[in-house]
C-alpha cells in the first residue's frame, strides 16, 4: 500500500519552565498564554476534515494542549507514554548551571551533542530517547496508512522524528527546532516523506476574540 499518512505534529503551548532556565520536569503545566495558544490551535485544527486519531503525550503541558483540540474535533486524545519528553532524571527542574555544579564529571559528555551515550543522572540516554522518538511516531504513522492524524508532543520528540525523516539522523534534531504551539505537517508513507510546512504559527496571529 502506497497511501501516504497526513501527519500533523503539534508542539505543546507555552509552559511554566519556558519562563526560566530550568531543565524540564514532568508535571509542569501550561501558562495562561499556553492555554490561549491551545484554544487557537483547536480553532485551526477544527477545520480539518476526516481526522482519524488524536494522540498526545501524557505530560500535563501536552494533555492541556490536546484537550481543546479533542473537544473541537470530538475526538478524545489517546495518551501515549512514549510521546513524553526525555527523562531528565535527577536533573529535572534544575538550571543548567545547577546541573554543571552537581555533576561536573558529566559535563564533557553532556557538552557534546553527538555523544549518544550521555545519560541524564537517573534518567534517559540520548540514544534511548532518540530511538523512542523515532519508534513511537513511526508506529503511529504505520497504524494510520492513508489517514490524517494529529500528534501533540514535545520539542525533543518531534524534532528527533523530523530530523530522522528530513535530515537522515535524529541526532540533528537541533536543526529542526519547533516553537511552542507550532504546527508542522508531513505526508509520510512507503513512497517517502514530503514536508508540507514546518513550525507554523499562523493560527496565533488571529485575535483571541475570534477563537
Cell matching residue 162: 523530523
The answer to whether residue 12 is catalytic is yes
Q: How far is CA 131 from CA 119, 146, 151, in A?
A: 14, 24, 17
Strand partners, 56: 79, 152
Residue reference for cell 549518544: 116
What are the start-end ranges of the H helices in 94-143?
96-102, 107-111, 126-142
Instruction: Report yes or no: 93 and 23 within 8 Å, Cβ to Cβ.
Output: yes
Q: How far is CA 207 from CA 39, 86, 95, 184, 199, in A?
A: 11, 34, 35, 21, 20
Given the residues 14, 64, 85, 144, the one annotated as active site = 85
The answer to whether residue 175 is catalytic is no
Residue reference for cell 548551571: 97
Cell matching residue 64: 492541556
Measured distance CA(121)–CA(148) in Å, rounded: 38
Measured distance CA(168)–CA(49) in Å, rounded: 31
Q: Which residues are catalytic?
A: 12, 85
Amino acid at each position: 500500500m502506497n497511501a501516504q499518512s497526513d501527519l500533523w505534529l503539534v508542539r505543546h503551548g507555552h509552559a511554566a519552565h519556558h519562563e526560566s532556565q530550568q531543565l524540564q520536569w514532568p508535571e509542569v503545566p501550561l501558562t495562561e498564554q499556553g492555554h490561549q495558544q491551545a484554544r487557537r490551535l483547536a480553532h485551526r485544527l477544527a477545520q480539518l476534515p476526516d481526522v482519524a486519531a488524536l494522540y498526545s503525550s501524557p505530560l500535563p503541558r501536552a494533555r492541556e494542549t490536546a484537550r481543546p483540540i479533542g473537544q473541537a474535533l470530538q475526538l478524545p486524545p489517546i495518551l501515549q507514554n512514549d510521546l513524553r519528553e526525555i527523562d531528565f532524571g535527577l536533573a529535572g527542574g534544575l538550571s543548567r548551571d545547577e546541573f554543571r555544579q552537581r555533576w561536573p564529571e558529566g559535563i564533557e559528555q553532556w557538552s557534546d551533542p553527538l555523544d549518544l551515550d550521555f545519560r541524564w543522572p537517573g534518567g534517559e540516554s540520548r540514544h534511548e530517547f532518540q530511538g523512542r522518538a523515532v519508534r513511537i511516531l513511526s508506529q503511529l504513522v504505520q497504524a494510520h496508512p492513508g489517514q490524517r492524524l494529529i500528534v501533540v508532543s514535545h520539542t525533543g520528540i518531534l524534532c528527533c522524528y523530523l530530523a530522522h525523516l528530513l535530515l537522515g539522523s535524529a541526532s540533528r534534531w537541533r536543526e529542526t527546532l519547533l516553537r511552542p504551539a507550532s504546527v508542522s505537517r508531513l505526508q509520510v508513507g512507503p513512497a517517502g516523506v514530503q514536508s508540507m510546512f514546518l513550525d507554523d504559527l499562523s493560527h496565533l496571529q488571529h485575535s483571541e476574540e475570534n477563537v
